[in-house]
A = this chain, B = another copy of it.
Amino acid sequence: MNLSFTEENYLKAIFHLNYPVNENVGTNAISEALNTRAASVTDMLKKLAEKELINYEKYQGVSLTDFGQKKAITIVRKHRLWEVFLVDKLNFKWDEVHDIAEELEHINSETLINRLEAFLDFPKRDPHGDPIPDKDGVIRSQELIPVSKLKVGDSGVISGVREHSADFLKYLEKTGLILGETLSIAEIVKFDSSVMVKIKKNQQMISREVAKNLLIAL
C-alpha cells in the first residue's frame, strides 16, 4: 500500500510518541507533534485505522499495529540514513540535517535505501546518536542515561540527545559536548541542579535542562 507524505508523518509521529513504551498515544499529543489541530488528527486517525495501520477506539487514543509499526520504522530508517549521508558525504553539520531528512525520508524505493545504506558502510547510528533500524526493522538500541540521572563521580561516553532542535545541537557543539567524548560528573549544584561536568581536562557547568537532554552510555 502506498501512503501519502502526510500519512507517513502521522505514523512516524505516533511511533516516536510511544517509543519504546507501548502506551496509547492521545489525539492532542499528535496534534502538538505535527502542528495541526486535534480535529484534523481525529480525521486522519480514522483513515489510518481504516487502513489497519493503527489500533483506534474513540476517545481511547491509538497505537500502531504491527503493520503500521513496520511502516513507521522504515521511515525512521530512511530519515536516519539520509542524515548520515548529509553529514558524512556532503559535510552538513548535525544541526542542519533534520529538515532535509524530513523530506528525503518520504522517497519511495527500497532498493535506493538499501544501496544508500551499503554506500554509507552500514552505519549503526545517525549523527545524533540514534540507532538506525536494519532492513528488517530491527532496532538495536543501547540503553542511554540522561546526565541528570548521574551521580557525582559517574562517567561515560556522550552518545545521544533527547532534543533535536538546531539551537540545542549548536550549543552542544560550541561547548564541546560532542558525541564520543567521555564525560564525568564533578559536582551537582544543590540550588538548581545544574551540573559541573568534566570533558578531557575542562570543566564546565550545564543547566539541568541541558543535563536532561544529553544522553550517556555507561
Contacts and interface: CB of A to CB of B under 8 A. Distances in A.
A92 B90 CA distance: 20
Contacts of A189: none
19 contacts: A86-B112, A89-B119, A90-B112, A90-B115, A90-B116, A90-B119, A91-B115, A92-B111, A92-B115, A96-B111, A99-B109, A100-B109, A100-B112, A103-B106, A103-B107, A103-B108, A104-B104, A104-B107, A107-B107
A102 to B, nearest CB: 10
Interface residues of A, number: 19
Interface of A: 86, 89-92, 96, 99-100, 103-104, 106-109, 111-112, 115-116, 119
Count of this chain's copies in the oligomeric assembly: 2
Nearest to A82: B107
A3 to B, nearest CB: 14
Contacts of A96: 111
